[in-house]
Amino acid sequence: MAVIVVVVVVVVVVIVAVVVVIVVILVVAIVVVEVVVLVVVVVIVVVFILFVVIVVVVVVVVVVVVVVVVVVVVAVVVVLFHPSLNFFFITAYGIGIGQNVAAGQVDWSKAMYAWFKESFIYKYGLKPKDYLPGPNAWAKVGHYTQMVSRRSYRIGCGYTSCRNKKGSGYSRYYVCNYASGQYGVITPYTNGTERCSDCPDSCNNGLCDCKGKLCLNSGTLDINKCTCKCRRTYTGSDCSVLTCPENDVWWCKNKPVTSCKKYSNYPFDCPYLCGVCNKTDAPTTAPPPTTTTTTTTTTTPAPFVSPHGCKFTGQRATSDQCKKYGKRGSDMNFCQSRGGGFTCDDCTKYYNVKTDYCPVMCGYCDPPCGKICQNRGVLNPDTCQCECTERWTGDLCEIDYWAISTTTPIPTLNADNVCPLNLDKHTVDQCRKYGAEGSDTQFCKSKGGQFTCEDCRKYYNVKTDYCPVMCGICEPPCGMVCLNKGVLNPDTCTCKCKSNFTGRLCETPN
């Protein structure tokens, strides 16, 4: 831009000088020569002016084109230094690599700052296209988000000095590679208020530090214990050991091989289909020993019969092993025991049904806490309590609340604005998601609305979406119920009152 300004200034000065000379010539011509000579002089002057204007326009256009070409060449040179994404997925280790590149800075601090200053325009939790212009808005903040990505446990950086190439103007190139690379720029880190809240056992100067621990093959790092949770088909402290199962997961049958590259879970769930494992890699059992004629007789132990009638023969899993099977030790909804399609025959037909889906139904595990929740209730093995679905209650979710509610009188609110329905209480964490952050909404009779105790009993979502306290499934947050349509803030345990009321519970008229 500076070059263009200088050229324009010079051209303007030349034009002004030419015009002054022409004016002087005209004045002299008028005084000393005849009219015919004057006309000839005027024609010559006009032609000269047109020539000068054309030359000026051509010079300006050439300068602008040269500057634009230089800028484009530099941009292309810098962009070309980023390898393709396919090149930067290390198949041998099963991890993707991220990369930042800078060019032209005099030292590392300025190169790093060139990436970091993108934080000035970055907005956490929002899609870049929603607050930045252009088709590739993410690229304007992607260097910064890669620097702070919680997925990157190892970083390797280097630079090189190159002889200036014509038009580039750069002499140093800086590159940092990150393992693993980032996937998305919306939430590159966990936004919190207290440092090391997720990693009290591995905190180092306010940061979660596992000393560069890297989980390979899509393994997940526990940042508190600094251990890897490996995907199926891999084991080892860093998930580097290929451990082929007996077979692919049952649903892999008849799936196209093209799915292996299309879906990230296929190489783990379908290792034989995807070529990760060969049949020669499958675990084998030792051949039966040769027998000799003896008179010794043995008896085969009777198979174990599960509460659902499935027979299991062999070594059953321990309680610690069972915590990793099914849904924290219980059957999943795919099992016939919970209304699904897997039957007792599938327990023996497919090796993974007893571990991945139906450990209790198949007889491989005992029920956690010795309880089997009915009617699709879910057992919490930490509290040994069944979390029932909307119409069921009782210790095992065995009582149909809707059937009871149609035969009992319609209840009314008690003095505490709570319906005496005797429903099971939900946990504090569950209740925070109900109603207005655990409190009743304005639609409830307890807040002057239209929903009554009968609605709590009649419609399952009234007690969760609108009136958790009035319907009796939740205790009031902070033990407080704001009066006169006041709204409770559960974080500060204070009531925000309407304009015509005041007091701790909005109980006093203004």
Residues 183 and 258 occupy one common structural domain: no
Query: In terms of residue numbers, what domain contains 107?
Result: 89-188
Number of neighbours of residue 162 by Cβ within 10 angstroms: 12
Tell me the pLDDT band of 384, cut-offs 50, 70 and 90: confident
DSSP state of 420: -
Nearest Cα neighbor of 252 from 238, 237, 236, 272 is 272
Q: What is the pLDDT of residues 276-301, one digit of tens each?
A: 998 765 554 444 444 444 555 555 56
Out of 157, 188, 219, pick the residue that ends a domain. 188
Out of 137, 168, 188, pick the residue that ends a domain. 188
In this prediction, residue 147 carries a pLDDT of 93
Residues 182 and 94 occupy one common structural domain: yes
- H or E element: which one contains 108? helix 108-116
On whether residue 136 sits in a domain, the answer given is yes
On whether the CB atoms of residues 224 and 199 are closer than 8 A, the answer is yes
On whether residue 31 sits in a domain, the answer given is no
Query: In sequence order, what are the residues at sequence separation of 6 or more whose Cβ sits closer than 8 angstroms to the Cβ of residue 353?
Result: 250, 342, 346, 347, 362
| Average pLDDT rounded to a whole number, residues 4-11 | 59
On whether the CB atoms of residues 509 and 501 are closer than 8 A, the answer is yes
Calpha distance 289→292 (Å, rounded): 10
Calpha distance 21→13 (Å, rounded): 13
Q: Which residue has the higher pLDDT, 64 or 238?
A: 238
* Candidate from 60-69, 129-138, 384-393, 490-499 with smallest mean pLDDT: 60-69
* Candidate from 193-207, 297-311, 369-383, 439-453 with smallest mean pLDDT: 297-311
Tell me, letter by letter, the H, E, C secondary structure of 277-303: CCHHHCCCCCCCCCCCCCCCCCCCCCC
Query: In sequence order, what are the residues at sequence separation of 6 or more whose Cβ sits closer than 8 angstroms to the Cβ of residue 192?
Result: 198
In this prediction, residue 87 carries a pLDDT of 44
* Candidate from 68-72, 407-411, 415-419, 425-429 with smallest mean pLDDT: 68-72
DSSP state of 174: E
On whether residue 226 sits in a domain, the answer given is no
On whether the CB atoms of residues 30 and 39 are closer than 8 A, the answer is no
Task: Check whether 499 has a pLDDT greater than 60.
Answer: yes
Report CA dihedral (208, 214, 218, 224) to the nearest 10 degrees.
Answer: -30
In this prediction, residue 77 carries a pLDDT of 41
Calpha distance 306→289 (Å, rounded): 31
| Average pLDDT rounded to a whole number, residues 15-33 | 63
On whether residue 36 sits in a domain, the answer given is no
On whether residue 1 sits in a domain, the answer given is no
Out of 161, 188, 215, pick the residue that ends a domain. 188
Residues 183 and 257 occupy one common structural domain: no
Query: In sequence order, what are the residues at sequence separation of 6 or more whose Cβ sits closer than 8 angstroms to the Cβ of residue 195?
Result: 203, 206, 207
Calpha distance 94→363 (Å, rounded): 36
Calpha distance 484→508 (Å, rounded): 9
On whether residue 359 sits in a domain, the answer given is no
Q: Give the Å distances, CA to CA, from 464 to 39, 416, 436, 479, 481.
A: 98, 19, 10, 18, 17
On whether residue 131 sits in a domain, the answer given is yes
If DSSP codes are grouped into helix, strand and coil, which group holds residue 70? helix
On whether residue 477 sits in a domain, the answer given is yes
Q: What is the pLDDT of residues 310-336, one digit of tens each?
A: 999 888 999 889 999 999 899 998 899
Residues 180 and 258 occupy one common structural domain: no
Calpha distance 239→245 (Å, rounded): 15
Calpha distance 78→69 (Å, rounded): 14
Longest distance between any two alpha carbons in the chain, whole Å: 149
Phi, psi of 436 (to 5 degrees): -100, 80
Number of domains in the chain: 3
Task: Check whether 170 has a pLDDT greater than 80.
Answer: no
